[in-house]
Amino acid sequence: MTHLNELEAESIYILREVAAQFQKPAILFSGGKDSIVVTHLAYKAFYPAKLPFPLVHIDTGHNFKETIEYRDALVEKLGAQLIVGSVQESIDTGRVKEETGYNASRNALQTTTLLDTIEKYKFDACIGGARRDEEKARAKERIFSHRDEFGQWNPKNQRPELWNIFNGRKNMGEHFRVFPISNWTEMDVWQYIYKENIELPSLYYTHTRKCFFRDGQWLAAEDCIKRRPEEEVVEKEVRCRTIGDITCTGLTLSKAHTIEDIIAETAATRVTERGGRADDKRSETAMEDRKINGYF
Partner 1 sequence: MANGYLDMKLLRFTTAGSVDDGKSTLIGRLLYDSKSIFEDQLEAVETASKSRGNEDVNLALLTDGLKAEREQGITIDVAYRYFATPKRKFIIADTPGHIQYTRNMVTGASTADLAIILIDARHGVMEQTIRHSYIATLLGISRIVVCVNKMDLVDYSQDVFNKIIADYKEMSKHLDIPETDFIPISAKNGDNVVNRSENITWYTGSPLLEFLENVEIKNQTSGDFRMAVQYVVRPISDKFADFRGYAGRIAQGTVKVGDKIKILLSGLTSTVKGIYNGKQELPQAQEGESVDITLADDIDISRGDYLVGDNANIPSVGKEFTLDICWFNPSPMQLRKKYIVRHATQEIQGLFTEILHKTDISTQEKIEGASELQLNDIARVTLKTAGELVYESYKKNKVTGSLVFVDPFTFETVGAGMIV
Binding footprint of partner 1 on the chain (CB under 8 A): 1-10, 12-13, 16-17, 19-20, 43-50, 132-133, 135-140, 155-156, 158-165, 167, 169-171, 182-183, 185, 187-188, 190-191, 194-195, 260, 263-264, 267-272, 275, 284-285, 288
Between 63 and 191, name the residue whose CB sits nearer to partner 1: 191
Give whichever of 122 and 169 is closer to partner 1, judged by the CB atom: 169
Q: Which amino acid is at 159?
A: R
Nearest C-alpha neighbor of 241 from the set 251, 233, 227: 251
Q: At how many degrees (to 10) do helices 33-46 and 65-78 cross? A: 0
275: left (phi over 0), alpha (psi -120 to 50) or beta: alpha
Nearest distance from C-beta of residue 249 to partner 1, angstroms: 16
Least distance (Å) between residue 91 CB and partner 1: 30
- Nearer to partner 1 by C-beta: 246 or 259? 259
Partners of 237 in the β-ladder: 208
CA–CA dist 18, 21 (Å, integer) = 5
> Burial of 183 by CB count in 10 Å (0-12 exposed, 13-18 middle, 19+ buried)?
middle
DSSP structural state of residue 229: T
CB of 167 to partner 1, least distance (A): 5
Q: Provide the minimum distance between the beta carbon of 61 and partner 1 in the complex, in angstroms, as a whole number.
A: 29
Q: Give the C-alpha separation, 81 to 54, whole Å.
A: 5
Smallest gap from Cβ 275 to partner 1, in A, equals 4
Q: Which is nearer to partner 1, 20 or 233 (CB)?
A: 20
Cβ proximity to partner 1: between 47 and 208 the closer is 47
Nearest residue (CB) to partner 1, 25 versus 85: 25
The crossing angle, in degrees rounded to 10, of helices 3-21 and 186-196 is 90
Burial of 278 by CB count in 10 Å (0-12 exposed, 13-18 middle, 19+ buried)?
Answer: buried
For the bound state, the minimum distance from the C-beta of residue 286 to partner 1, rounded and expressed in Å, comes to 11
